[in-house]
Chains A and B, each alone.
Chain A
Amino acid sequence: MTESRSVAKVLTYRHTLVVRISHWLNVLSICLLLMSGLQIFNAHPSLYWGQKATFAEPWLHMGAVTRGETTMGVTTLGPLSFNTTGLFGYSGKVGAREPRGFPSWATIPSYRALVDGRHWHFFFAWLFVLNGAFYVIGNLLNGHIRRDLLPTADQLTRKHLWHEIIEHARLRFPKGEEARRYNVIQKFTYLAVIFGVLPLMILTGLTMSPAVNAGQPWLVEVFGGRQSARSLHFICANLIVLFVLVHVALVIVVGFFNSMRSMITGRYVLEIEDGDAA
């Protein structure tokens, strides 16, 4: 058992400067893109499929419904309807509630101002895109993507994949030598976000521009129309929020201090049991 072994703490260099800079710029730009995006969404808190709006039949809608003396926030998702008073559709301090899609604490500015939301969104979209280009180009050149993000052959065996899924479900994560590299689920998730969700976010964003649609008409067709592009943009934003929630939760589970130090200074401590290292 472990008491017969000694545990050595080994300080390793985990995150390059390119990764650390782009990570924190991404935190800033994604936070502001999300808050300003929700402000923009609130100008018309309904989503549709296709080219045009079908006002009577949105697939998602947040609104306020008054019945008699009481007003409720109601969110409809297809045929389903939920009372979301205080969160979606109708929110604010009790007694001073107002009809709005997302609540004031989630938007920038807190009050309704589509114009400001657009200014924040289009500014931080540039930071986000330039930062993304810096990350991808930098890490293609230094080999980080090939070396650290692409799964290795031994990680892709059915046995290993199954083992990782079980271990994740038990919230048990690789330790020691195995923690030197990203685990395979982590790799797939990062690859899906970096080369799937984030580029889709940019492209669906571009196709909401009527000028881009005139110049590159094929692109909006790929997404099935402008309202579909708006819906996909919203869904991708939700996927990013989901990713961030899981990401932050896992950072806390595997060691908040160690993870934060590695994303700030680059240094990560591995606990290697004696005899574990070969």
Chain B
Amino acid sequence: MTDAIHRRGWIKGVAASLTGLWLAACNRINDNPDVQKTLLKAEGLNRRVHRALIDRKALAKEFTAADISKDFKANGSISPGDKPYRDHLMAGFKDYRLVIDGLVDHPMELSLADIHALPSRSQITRHDCVEGWSSIGKWTGARLGPLLDRAGLKREARYLVFHCFDTLGAATDGSNQYYESIDLIDAYHPQTILAYQMNDAVLPVGHGAPLRLRVERQLGYKQAKYIARIEAVSDFKSLHGGKGGFWEDRGYEWYAGI
């Protein structure tokens, strides 16, 4: 009897120690910088293979109104508490101006009325979150391509950076400001829009009011919400963490097609 209890305690102890060793070993391998560097080699390979094999002008599938999710999940920031944003929200965005600057010939400040007057597009597409879920929604907004033509991109411009109103997480030093970036091929893709409507209603706060990017064919974290400013740049190394986006600075892939 006591022997059996002793034995059970002993087996449990060994099992717990072995599990502890296993976890520590796995985490040590995972946290090793050389291992991380090796794993990241696949990221560049994936991007290059996708670039080589997938037509970059291919359209994301568009669905019908019957397919629209009734439970489209709002993720990341869903109600930014940042003061400039709150002020705009309280004022119904009447003083909101979308700034377009950086490497452009004609820097612009556009009101929501100006943006509504731009060539627009509606699309019912599937939004794929990096976490694994998908929701389908209808987006209406200004096509980015014609807008960029009006701003006149300079020759050196290679990327567009979307600076957002929201901060995500607890830091107060500005290191958690949300931002994203895309290249010019994606910027001129016909389905790339600055959406101001979702499912035929004004874009809700949870989904990025007053303006969110839709760059279909990439994951959800690329679809920047609460856009304040679009900056044309030659590279994004000097911005924030240098990886071209909030989640990219935290290790996620800049090319979010996978």
Q: Which A residues are within 8 Å of any B CB, using their own CB?
A: 35, 40-41, 43-44, 46, 48, 51-56, 104-105, 108-111, 113-116, 118-120, 122-123, 125-126, 208-217, 226-227, 230
Contacts and interface: CB of A to CB of B under 8 A. Distances in A.
B59 interface: yes
Contacts of B73: 53, 55
Given A55-B73, A209-B50, 13 more contacts: A43-B130, A56-B71, A110-B23, A119-B36, A123-B39, A211-B50, A211-B217, A212-B258, A213-B61, A214-B58, A214-B61, A215-B55, A227-B133
Nearest to A46: B133
19 contacts: A51-B136, A53-B71, A53-B135, A56-B71, A109-B26, A110-B26, A116-B30, A118-B130, A118-B252, A119-B40, A209-B50, A209-B258, A210-B218, A210-B219, A210-B257, A212-B54, A214-B54, A214-B60, A227-B133
Interface string B165-180: 0000000000000000
Interface stretch (B41-49, B140-148, B156-164): B41-49
B61 A44 contact: no
Interface in B4-59: 19, 22-23, 26-27, 29-31, 36, 38-43, 45-46, 50, 53-55, 58-59
B101 interface: no
Contacts of B50: 209, 211-212
Contacts of A41: 132
Nearest to A211: B257
A126 B45 contact: yes
B136 to A, nearest CB: 5
A118 B36 CA distance: 11
A104 B219 CA distance: 26
A104 B23 contact: yes
Nearest to B49: A126
Interface string B64-93: 000101010100000000000000000000
A208 B252 CA distance: 16
B70 to A, nearest CB: 9
Nearest to B50: A211
- Secondary structure call for the A interface: helix
B17 to A, nearest CB: 13
Contact of A52 (B40, B59, B134): B134
B22 to A, nearest CB: 6
B129 A51 contact: no
Given A109-B31, A209-B258, A230 B218 contact: no
Interface residues of B, number: 50
A119 B63 CA distance: 31
**6 residue pairs, one from A and one from B, having the closest CB atoms:** A211-B257, A215-B54, A109-B30, A44-B132, A115-B251, A53-B133
A144 B216 CA distance: 45
Contact of A214 (B26, B59, B251): B59
B133 to A, nearest CB: 4
A216 B71 CA distance: 27
Which of A53, A56, A118 has the most B CB atoms < 10 Å from its CB?
A: A53
Nearest to B222: A210
B54 to A, nearest CB: 4
Contacts of B69: 52-53
A159 B146 CA distance: 73
Contacts of A56: 71
Contacts of A108: 26, 29-30
Contacts of B136: 51-52
Contacts of A109: 26-27, 30-31
B216 A126 contact: no
Nearest to B253: A118
B71 A54 contact: yes
Contacts of B22: 105
B128 A226 contact: yes
B154 to A, nearest CB: 28
Contact of A105 (B19, B135, B219): B19
A52 B135 contact: yes
B250 interface: yes
A108 B54 CA distance: 30
Contacts of A44: 129, 131-133
Contacts of B252: 115, 118
Interface string B222-258: 0000000000000000000000000000111100011
